[in-house]
Amino acid sequence: MKKVISNLLQKTIQKSFNLKLTIQEIDNKIEIPPDSLMGDFAFPCFFLSSKLKKNPNEIAIKMKNEINNSSREISEIKTAGAYLNFFVNKKILAVNLIKEISKNNKKYGENNSEKGKKTSVEFPSPNTNKPLHLGHLRNIAIGESVSRILEFSGGKVFRNSLNNDRGVHICKSMVAYEKYGSNKTPESEKKKSDHFVGDYYVLFSKKEMSEENAQEMLIKWENGDKKVLALWKKMNKWALDGFKETYKKYEIKLDKEYFESEIYMKGKEFVEQGLKKGIFKKKKDGSVFIDLNNEKLGEKIVLRADGTSVYITQDLYLAKLKFDELKIDNSIYVVGNEQDYHFNVLVAILKKLKFDFADKIKHLSYGMVVLPEGRMKSREGKVVDADDLIEEIQKLAKKELISRSKLSARKLESRSLKIALASIKYFLLKTDINKDMLFNPEESIRFDGDTGPYIQYSYARANSILEKSKIKNNLNKFEIKTLHQSEIELIKKLSQFKEVVLKSRETLNPSLIAHYSYQLAQNFNEFYHSCPVVDSKEEEFRLALVKSFMQVLKNSVWLLGIDILDEM
C-alpha cells in the first residue's frame, strides 16, 4: 500500500508543481502516524516547501485536491497543517495483501536491494584456547541473521570465520597443559574437548603462571619447534572439534574457515612491503609501527620487537585475500564494540596502502552481553559457556513442555531444543545491536511476553485453528462483509513486513525484525481473542487471514534464524 501512495504522490507532485522526485525520495518521507485516527500513512510537505518556495500547508491542500478519489485503495485523504494523511481502504488492502502473501509464500517480503552484490560476513572468529561462550552466541545470532537479511534482499553471502589459533593467548593454554596436563585427554576426563582446553587457559591465570613463558613458547612455535608444534596441533584440534559440535547444535553452517596460523606469515610479508614503501617504520627496539596520528588513532605496532605478529598483521592480509578470493563487493566483520579501535586502524592502514576495497569494509559493532552479576571474564572462568547455557535453557523448556502435555522422549528432545534456541536467539537479537544487554535465562524462556517461545506459541495457536476447521482449500475465495478493529490492526501489521525488511537491511540491525515479529504475534493474539474463526460467518476470510499471519511470521523469524513449531 505504501507503494501505491508513493506512486500517487510522485505523479501528483510532477503534475501540480512540475517537480520530478524519485520513488525512493518520496518513500523516505512517508511516515506511519502514532495514532490510527490520524491516518494509516502521513506525508509531510516541509521539504517540498523549500524546493518550491511555497507555504507547506498550501502545498498539502493543493495535493489533496488533486489526489482525491483518484485511487480505490485510498478511502480518504485529510490535511493536518503541512501533513497529508492517507486512510487506506482496509477491505481492498486485506484482499490484495492476502492474495500476494498466498502467491509468494516463503518469498513474501523478499526484495532486490542487494541483487548482484556479494558480501562476506565474518563471524564468530573464536580463539582456540577456550569454548564458545554467551558473547559468541550473540555474535553468531547477529552474523547469521544479517546474512539471512542480505540473502532475503537478493544478495549472495559468504559466511566465514577466522580461527585465531596462534598467539600468546593460545600459548597460555599450552603452557598450563604442558605443566599440569599429565597426558590427560578430553576422553580420559569425559569432557567436551573445547571445554577441556579452556580449563587450562583458566588454570594459567589461577596459578599465576609467567606471561614470559607463553611468549617464549610463541617464539618457539614461530621457529618451528617440533615438540611445541605437536602440542599445538593436538590442543588446537580439541578446540576446533568442540566448536563444530556447538555450531551444529546452534544451527549455523560456515562457507569457509580461515586460520590465523596459515596466513600470519603473509601478513608479515605485507608489513615488510609497507616498510620498504615507508608506510611502516621501525623503532629502536626493532618493533614495526605505523603513525596514524593524523587519523587521530595514534601509533600502532604491527610487528613486535621479537618479530612476532599481532592481530592487525594477519587482518591486513586477510582483508585483501577475501576480496581477491571471494570476488566480493563488501566485507562485514561482526565483532564486539571493544574492537572499534582495531577496525578503525585496519581501514586506515589499508587506505594508506592504497587499496580501493578499504571503503567497502564495515565493522558491524555490537554491544557486550552482561550477566546479572556483571561482565564476563574468560581468564577467571567467569563466563557462561554456550553449551552449558543451551543445556540449561533446554531443561527449562522440557519442564514447561512436560507440564503442558505428554510427549515421546524423541519429540520432547527435539521440541525443547528448538524452543531453547528460539529463547536464546530472540533474546540476544531483540536488543539493538549497538547496545550492551543483560541476559536473563529465566526471562528468555517464558512462554508469554517479549520472548522467542511466545512467538513460537502464537504460530502453533494459529496452526491449531487451521487444523480444527473443516475448510481446507480455496482460502483465497472469500468475501469481507465487515472488519473488526483487531482484524484491521493485524492486516496493517502484515502489510508492514516488506518495509521492516528493507529497514533492517539498510541498518543491518536484526532487532527491527525481532520487534516486528513480537508485535505481529501480539496483533494475532488480540485477533484470536476478539474474533472467533471456526464456524463463524466470516470463517473463510478469517482462515485466509490466519494463514497469511502464519506465513509472514514464519518468514520473519526465519530471518532471525529461529525455527517455527506447528504445536507446543
Q: What is the pLDDT of residue 376?
A: 40
Residue located via cell numbers 532486490: 112
Q: Is 24 exposed, middle or buried (0-12, 13-18, 19+ CB in 10 A)?
A: exposed
The per-residue pLDDT string of the chain (568 residues; one tens digit each, 9 = 90 and over) reads: 788 899 999 999 999 999 999 998 998 899 989 888 889 999 999 999 989 999 999 999 999 998 877 788 899 999 999 999 999 999 999 999 999 999 999 999 999 999 999 999 999 999 999 999 999 999 999 999 999 999 999 999 999 999 999 999 999 999 999 999 999 999 999 999 999 999 999 999 999 899 999 999 999 998 999 999 999 999 999 999 999 999 999 999 999 999 999 998 999 888 998 999 999 999 999 999 999 999 999 999 999 898 888 889 999 999 999 999 999 999 999 999 999 999 999 999 999 999 999 999 999 999 999 877 654 444 444 568 999 999 999 999 999 999 988 999 999 999 999 999 999 999 999 999 999 999 888 899 999 999 999 999 999 999 999 999 998 776 677 889 899 999 999 999 999 999 999 999 999 999 999 999 999 999 999 999 999 999 999 999 999 999 999 999 999 999 999 999 999 8
In order of their start, the domains of the chain are 2-88 (3.30.1360.70), 123-375 (3.40.50.620), 386-558 (1.10.730.10)
Q: What is the pLDDT of residue 176?
A: 97
Beta bridge partners of 335: 365
Residue 124: all three cell numbers together: 564468530
Q: What is the pLDDT of residue 373?
A: 64
Q: Cβ(460)–Cβ(566) under 8 Å?
A: yes
Helix H or strand E segment including 363: strand 361-366
pTM of the predicted model over 0.85: yes
Beta bridge partners of 292: 298
Q: Cβ(397)–Cβ(445) under 8 Å?
A: yes
Residue in 105, 97, 251, 1 with CA at minimum distance from that of residue 555: 105
Q: Report the residue count for the chain.
A: 568
Strands 330-336 and 118-122: parallel
Determine the Cα–Cα distance for residues 136 and 142; give it in Å rounded to an integer: 10
Q: What is the pLDDT of residue 310?
A: 87
Determine the Cα–Cα distance for residues 219 and 129; give it in Å rounded to an integer: 18
Residue in 412, 415, 410 with CA at minimum distance from that of residue 453: 415
Q: What is the pLDDT of residue 434?
A: 93
